[in-house]
C-alpha cells in the first residue's frame, strides 16, 4: 500500500478556504477565507452581498461588470463584502490576536485568482491583529506574508 500524502497545515487550511469559496455569490470571482489559531479554525468567510441585500447570483447581474469596471476599481459600487472581511466580522476578537488567515480565490473559469488581500482588507487584517496571511496566487503557488 502506497503511503497517502498528508497535507501540511497550510495546504490543509487552503483546501478548506477553497471549499468555503464555493459559497460565494459573486458573479466575477469566488473567494474563501479561513482564520486559524493554533491549528484550530476560528472563523470562515466568503465574498457576497451584505446580509439582507440581494445577492448578485439572485439578481443575475453585477453592477461593476455591467458598467465594465476593471477588476480592483470602484469597489464602492459593489454589493459584496470580501471573504476576509466576513471572516473577521464573524470571529471573536480575542481569538484573532496572532492568528493566521488563509485565502483562496477563483476566476469565473475556475482558474486561480490573485488572492492577496486588497488594501482595505490588509488594514482590517492588521486591525484584527492577525499575524500572517497565507494565500494562493494566480499561478497556484502558496504565498506567506507576515503582518
Query: Of 77, 76, 52, whose CA–CA distance to 63 is shortest?
Result: 77
Quick one: cell of 10? Answer: 497550510
The partner residues of 136 in beta bridges, in order of sequence, read: 142
Given a contact cutoff of 8 angstroms between Cβ atoms, the answer to whether 111 and 132 are in contact is no
Among this protein's residues, is 94 annotated catalytic? no
Crossing angle (nearest 10°) for helices 119-127 and 83-90: 20
SS3 20: helix
DSSP letter, residue 15 = H
Of the residues 55, 84, 94, 141, only one is catalytic, namely 84
Active site residues: 84
Amino acid at each position: 500500500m502506497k503511503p497517502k500524502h498528508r497535507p501540511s497545515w497550510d495546504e490543509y487550511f487552503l483546501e478548506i478556504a477553497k471549499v468555503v469559496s464555493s459559497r460565494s455569490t459573486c458573479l466575477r470571482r469566488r473567494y474563501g477565507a479561513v482564520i486559524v489559531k493554533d491549528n484550530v479554525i476560528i472563523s470562515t468567510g466568503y465574498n457576497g452581498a451584505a446580509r439582507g441585500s440581494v445577492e448578485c447570483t439572485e439578481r443575475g447581474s453585477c453592477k461593476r461588470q455591467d458598467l465594465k469596471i476593471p477588476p480592483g476599481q470602484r469597489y464602492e459600487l459593489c454589493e459584496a463584502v470580501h471573504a476576509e472581511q466576513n471572516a473577521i466580522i464573524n470571529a471573536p476578537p480575542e481569538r484573532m490576536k496572532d492568528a493566521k488567515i488563509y485565502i483562496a480565490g477563483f476566476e469565473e473559469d475556475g482558474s486561480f485568482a490573485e488572492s492577496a488581500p486588497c488594501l482595505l482588507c490588509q488594514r482590517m487584517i492588521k486591525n484584527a491583529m492577525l499575524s500572517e496571511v497565507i494565500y494562493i496566487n494566480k499561478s497556484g503557488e502558496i504565498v506567506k506574508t507576515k503582518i
